[in-house]
Structure 1
Amino acid sequence: MKLNYMQCWNGAMAQLMSHKEAILAIAGVFIFLPTLLFAQYVTPPVFNGDEDMNGVIAVYSAYFNENAFAVMTSNLVTSFGGLAIYFALAPSRNGTVAEDLAAALKIFVIYLLANLLSALVSLPGFLLFIIPGLYLTCRFIVVPVVIADEGERNPIELLKRSWAVTENNGFAIMLFILIIAVVGTIAISVLEAVTGVVAGLATGGTGWPFVQNLVASLTGTAFQLILTAVIVSIYIELTGRKTDVGEVFN
């Protein structure tokens, strides 16, 4: 099947509205809160502006050495929350929040292994040229939906299934995701910049770090939810599981 951008987008928005209670509950605890705490208590890497590549690597190395536990914990918690949301949105499931969280917990290690495998497969594409790496990443983009919807537990089979589902649509998916990413990044940057300006004017340049981190965490969480819903919608359209958006989300 060919990817229809408008149908995918409408389907994604319908999913978010139809499952908003479960999504907000999961995202609030496992995505928004860890992101806010991380932004509030972990100082980002500081650059002078004149670093060469070795200098940039040294700054990031020091940053990760000092904050390894916080970085790993935050990423694991938000990844788990993201997987639970895939379970909440999977077309074959209609469970409670507790059931979605339990299902995600049981399969979380396999999910991480599948992500690692897909990253290893995509890495040569990024090393050679950026576009092949993005293309390969998009061919594996529905792996978490396959986990949640079809119950596949073999990481290699998960990659094969995602590859089959996205056949002949790799570049279409890549363009669709890039459009969403660019528009989302611009919107988030503008909102954060406006927040920073308002906070700076109101405080004489001191700013409101908590408010700015709050806005950044909220917008980042919203963007992740939209992207997750879009990926599920892509899977639904390409697998033909549901052909009518209204039927899917009534």
Structure 2
Amino acid sequence: MKLDMGRAWDQTTAMIGKSLPLVAIVAALFFFLPNFAFGVLAPQGVPGMENPDIAQDPEALMEVLGAYMGQVWWALLLLILFQYVGQLGLMALFDGSRRPTLGEALSTGLRMMIPFLIAGLIMNVGLVLLFTVAVGIGGVTGVVALAVLLGAIALAAMIYISIKFVLTGPVMAIEGTANPIAALKRSWRLTKGNSARILLFLFLLGLVYMIASIVLSMFALLFGLMGEQIAIVAASFVSALTTAVFLAVFSVVLVAVYRQVGGASETGELEDTFE
């Protein structure tokens, strides 16, 4: 089935509207609060980045970034895991065949958190290797134009592969597929023939998020006049709020896409629960 972006968006808004209090609870607990806490409590900025010489020295830049990550890696990991549970829980919440409670949906999210993390690592390691090999081959030849061309091709391939695996979350949360490889394969099959439409749909969603983030961040800058700490809190609040809304909508969008491209019919759901 070809993806109808308008219908997918209508399904998304219908699902969120029908369960808005539950969506808001998940978004607040698993998206907003962890991001707000990280923004307020984590070290502000990367130490040393204010030095313009570091930005021009790749080795010094990697050393500075490595030192910063050494400080905050555990907080970032917790942040990612919280968000995974929330996203998978929201996806499971809209499983029309089971109609789970919020507790059951979050239990599914918790159970699928590690398999989802492993699936992401498999995909990302593969993408990094692809890009590294492509750029490396171009670098070995010594031809700059070839290196740029191979890098561009690798980047396009990375975007394509990412879209092919974008339904891994719904497959795990709704179908209960805990095997990361099986879930990735299933997502690849479900997106067949719809990759370009899914890419355009998610690009438009991401564009709206970026514009909203920029506008609200400019508003938050006004609090800088009230002192540094207030500015940090305001910026963290705005960033956490926009991130929470985006992740909640993004998660439900993936469920709508999953239903349209064959997930609902193949899991026994004969009609859209919210239509």
1:74 to 67, 71, 79: 79
1:230 maps onto 2:231 in alignment: no
1:164 maps onto 2:189 in alignment: yes
**Kept in 2: contact 1:19–1:89 (CA 8 A):** no
Q: In structure 2, how many angstroms separate the alpha carbons of the residues matched to 1:91 and 1:108?
A: 21
Further displaced range: 99-108 or 117-126: 117-126
- Alignment correspondent of 2:27: 27
Identical aligned pairs, as a percentage?
Answer: 27
- Alignment correspondent of 2:224: 200
**Kept in 1: contact 2:115–2:178 (CA 8 A):** yes
Q: In structure 2, how many angstroms separate the alpha carbons of the residues matched to 1:18 and 1:2?
A: 26
1:175 maps onto 2:180 in alignment: no
Deviation at 1:240, TM superposition (A): 6.2
Alignment map for 1:1-250 (pairs within 5 Å) = 1-43=1-43, 44-46=45-47, 47-48=49-50, 49-50=52-53, 51-52=55-56, 53-127=58-132, 128=134, 129-196=154-221, 198-201=222-225, 203=226, 208-239=231-262, 241=264, 247-249=272-274
Q: In structure 2, how many angstroms separate the alpha carbons of the residues matched to 1:160 and 1:206?
A: 47
Rg comparison, structure with higher value: 2
Q: Over aligned residues, Cα RMSD in angstroms?
A: 2.2
Q: Which runs of 5+ in 2 are unaligned?
A: 135-153, 266-270
TM-score (norm 1): 0.89
Deviation at 1:147, TM superposition (A): 1.1
Q: In structure 2, how many angstroms separate the alpha carbons of the residues matched to 1:240 and 1:156?
A: 18
Q: In structure 2, how many angstroms separate the alpha carbons of the residues matched to 1:124 and 1:70?
A: 26
CA gap 1:213/1:240 in 2 versus in 1, 3 angstroms: closer
Deviation at 1:105, TM superposition (A): 1.8
Q: Deviations over 1:24-46 (max 9, x none)?
A: 11221121111100000002325
Aligned residue type for 2:26: I
Q: In structure 2, how many angstroms separate the alpha carbons of the residues matched to 1:146 and 1:186?
A: 30
Deviation at 1:130, TM superposition (A): 1.7
Aligned residue type for 2:72: N
User: How many positions carry a matched residue from both structures?
Assistant: 245
Q: Which runs of 5+ in 1 are unaligned?
A: none
TM-score (norm 2): 0.81
SS in 2 for 1:168: coil
